[in-house]
């Protein structure tokens, strides 16, 4: 017989169990309500068998969302296209984006740089997922569309399996296009070519060509060996560092004296311009045909000559200042110039020693060391 206390216990157990179940559902699913998601759509021109709602969407192998809907383009946009429409929900928190608009702007720029969606296989189960990755945009152009997508659009590229199937199909179609007569003709031509080469190699000319090729390879090997010996010579090894040191010294002088050289050239240009102006004024005055008629104005003329002399003197002073600056530059870089000259002298000595060896033993530079000296009574 059931008592009232048993009904109370049973009801309490059911209520507590229901509350616990609701609490677990809320706790486990509450995170979904606080996520920042974005709907992205793509169009696929191949079979999506194995791709279902809830399939993962990954960015370079990292899950960032899931497939939310799969349908056809002609049901929403245009009846002229038979693409598969796939919508995805991306978790912007996992992508590290601050706002939806910021992510959309960045995604549109990345699409121009090759951001694509690619159906990929999960192991050997046949299940598909969408992998977002970067590919060559020129080799993988987007599918042709003539409508404005409702959501953010990321183009797709064919899957690896689809490319493999297309390659196998092309090969199969090519093989099917070859008739039996074509294959027999190709085999006959190949056999004739092989037989012709074999007959030619058995002739005297073929044997001579083979010997000539072998001799050329032998001479090439000797030449390369000799070049390696020359480059391994300490004198040759010293030439490159000396040249590098000389160039470094010249570069150092130019870098240190760059501003002074520019200023000196500017002053020289100004001085030459002033000197040219003064010379032109004096020449014009002396060539004036009215000079004889204007002797009464000799005082004014002498004044003009005096002014021209002053300008010439100023030009000479500027030129003298330029020369002093150049002397200061040369004095400041005297140590560096001395080091450069020393490196150049060492370089010339090494070149002289190497050229002396080449002059004494010209054949030895190319073919090896000179033969050993022998006396008339020695046996060969």
Per-residue pLDDT of the chain (380 residues; tens, 9 = 90+): 556 666 777 778 888 888 888 877 766 654 555 567 889 999 999 888 888 999 999 988 889 899 999 999 999 998 888 899 999 998 888 887 668 888 888 889 999 999 999 998 887 667 889 999 899 989 889 999 999 999 999 999 988 888 888 888 888 787 777 767 777 788 888 888 888 887 877 787 777 887 888 888 888 888 888 888 777 777 666 666 776 777 776 676 666 665 665 666 666 677 677 767 766 766 766 666 665 555 555 566 566 656 666 666 776 677 777 677 766 766 666 666 677 777 777 777 766 776 666 666 665 555 555 555 555 555 54
Specify if 378 maps to a domain: no
Neighbours of 135 (CB within 10 A): 14
Specify if 98 maps to a domain: yes
Residues 249 and 350 both lie in one domain:
yes
Q: What is the 3-state secondary structure (H, E, C) of 58-87?
A: EECCEEEEEEEEEEEHHHCCCCCCCCEEEE
Specify if 48 maps to a domain: yes
Specify if 173 maps to a domain: no
Report pLDDT for 230. Answer: 76
- Residues 6 or more apart in contact with residue 122 via CB below 8 angstroms: 128, 129
> Strand, coil or helix: what is 147?
coil
Residues 206 and 283 both lie in one domain:
no
Question: In the listed set 100, 134, 158, which residue is the last one of a domain according to the structure?
Answer: 158
Residues 227 and 249 both lie in one domain:
no
Which residues sit opposite 179 in a β-bridge?
none
Residues 330 and 357 both lie in one domain:
yes
Specify if 22 maps to a domain: no
Instruction: Give the single-character DSSP code of 135.
Output: -
Report pLDDT for 88. Answer: 93
Specify if 6 maps to a domain: no
Domain enclosing residue 102, as ranges: 35-158
Report pLDDT for 322. Answer: 67
For the chain, what is the total number of helices (H) and then of strands (E)? 11, 7
Residues 245 and 270 both lie in one domain:
yes
Specify if 258 maps to a domain: yes
Residues 258 and 318 both lie in one domain:
yes
- Binning the chain into helix, strand and coil, the percentages to the nearest 5 are 65, 15, 25
Residues 82 and 96 both lie in one domain:
yes
Which whole-number Å values give the CA distances from 25 to 22, 54, 91, 206, 304, in the listed order? 5, 19, 21, 87, 108
Residues 138 and 64 both lie in one domain:
yes
Q: Tokens for 176, please give them.
A: 């099917």
Report pLDDT for 165. Answer: 81
Report pLDDT for 312. Answer: 63
Residues 263 and 283 both lie in one domain:
yes
How many structural domains is the chain composed of? 3
Residues 88 and 144 both lie in one domain:
yes
Whole-prediction pTM value?
A: 0.43
Specify if 286 maps to a domain: yes
Residues 204 and 264 both lie in one domain:
no
Residues 109 and 204 both lie in one domain:
no
């Amino acid at each position: 017989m059931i008592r009232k206390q048993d009904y109370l216990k049973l009801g309490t157990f059911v209520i507590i169990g229901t509350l616990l179940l609701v609490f677990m559902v809320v706790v486990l699913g509450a995170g979904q309500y606080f996520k920042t998601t974005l709907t992205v759509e793509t169009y696929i021109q191949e079979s999506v068998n194995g791709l279902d709602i809830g399939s993962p969407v990954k960015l370079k192998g990292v899950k960032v969302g899931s497939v939310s809907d799969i349908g056809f383009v002609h049901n929403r946009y245009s009846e002229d296209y038979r693409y598969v429409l796939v919508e995805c929900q991306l978790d912007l928190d996992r992508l590290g984006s601050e706002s939806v608009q910021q992510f959309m702007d960045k995604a549109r720029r990345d699409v121009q740089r090759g951001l694509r969606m690619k159906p990929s296989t999960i192991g050997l189960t046949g299940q598909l997922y969408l992998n977002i990755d970067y590919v060559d945009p020129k080799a993988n152009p987007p599918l042709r569309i003539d409508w404005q997508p409702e959501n953010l659009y990321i183009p797709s590229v064919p899957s690896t399996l689809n490319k493999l199937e297309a390659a196998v199909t092309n090969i199969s179609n090519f093989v099917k296009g070859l008739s039996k007569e074509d294959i027999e003709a190709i085999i006959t031509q190949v056999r004739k070519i092989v037989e012709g080469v074999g007959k030619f190699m058995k002739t005297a000319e073929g044997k001579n060509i083979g010997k000539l090729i072998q001799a050329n390879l032998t001479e090439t090997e000797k030449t390369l060996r000799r070049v390696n010996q020359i480059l391994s010579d300490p004198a040759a090894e010293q030439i490159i560092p000396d040249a590098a040191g000389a160039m470094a010294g010249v570069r150092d002088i130019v870098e240190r004296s760059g501003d002074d050289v520019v200023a000196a050239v500017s002053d020289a240009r100004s001085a030459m311009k002033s000197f040219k102006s003064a010379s032109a004024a004096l020449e014009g005055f002396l060539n004036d045909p009215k000079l004889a008629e204007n002797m009464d104005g000799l005082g004014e003329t002498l004044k003009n000559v005096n002014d021209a002399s002053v300008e010439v003197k100023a030009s000479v002073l500027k030129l003298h200042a330029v020369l002093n600056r150049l002397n200061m530059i040369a004095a400041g870089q005297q140590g560096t110039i001395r080091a450069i000259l020393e490196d150049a002298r060492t370089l010339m000595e090494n070149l002289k020693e190497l050229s002396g060896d080449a002059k004494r033993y010209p054949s030895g530079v190319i073919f090896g060391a000179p033969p050993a000296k022998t006396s008339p009574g020695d046996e060969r």
